[in-house]
Amino acid sequence: MHKCKALIISCIDFRFQSKIIEYAMGKGLEDNYDLVTVAGAVKSIEEDSFLMEQIDISYKLHGIEEVHILSHEDCGAYGGSQSFSSKEEEYNTYALAQEQAEQLILSKYPELKVFKEILRK
Ligand SMILES: [Zn+2]
């Protein structure tokens, strides 16, 4: 098995790609993570979804121990910052989606560690 430490789930947004790499380097994950990018990161995760399938593949193929969920502010998949009445509401929305994703991931892979981060511009 080709082992790697983590799977990172991020949004496709081009404005955050270097921040995603910075995050991974900061966690000591250089060349040691699988990467799945989907618009809105975990926004569309549910049982038997594309994202859960990717997690399953990463888990079985590379024996990951961690999943890092990287959301970001002003996410177009949520209508951008302007669709929220406040920064707090915006961040709470991302945090809730991350929380639900974490629950779903842990229900299937209780041994994984899940980390959640909201990247800022
Ligand atoms: Zn986004």
CA of 88 relative to ligand 1 center, distance in Å: 17
Closest of 58, 65, 71 to residue 28, by C-alpha? 65
What distance separates the 2 farthest-apart alpha carbons in the chain? Answer: 48
| DSSP-derived secondary structure letter, 15 | G
pTM of the model: 0.96
> What is the residue extent of each domain of the chain?
6-119
**Closest by alpha carbon to 94, among 114, 121, 116?**
116
Say how many Å lie between the CA of residue 1 and the centre of ligand 1: 32
Dist. CA 17 → ligand 1 center (Å): 11
> Can you list the positions of beta strands (E) in 1-121?
6-10, 33-37, 66-72, 113-119
**How remote is the CA of residue 75 from the centroid of ligand 1, in Å?**
4
Mean pLDDT per block of 10 residues along the chain (121 residues) reads: 95 98 98 98 95 98 98 98 98 98 98 98 89
Q: Report the pLDDT value the prediction gives residue 1, as an integer from 0 to 100.
A: 78
**What is the whole-number distance in angstroms between the Cα of residue 70 and the centre of ligand 1?**
10
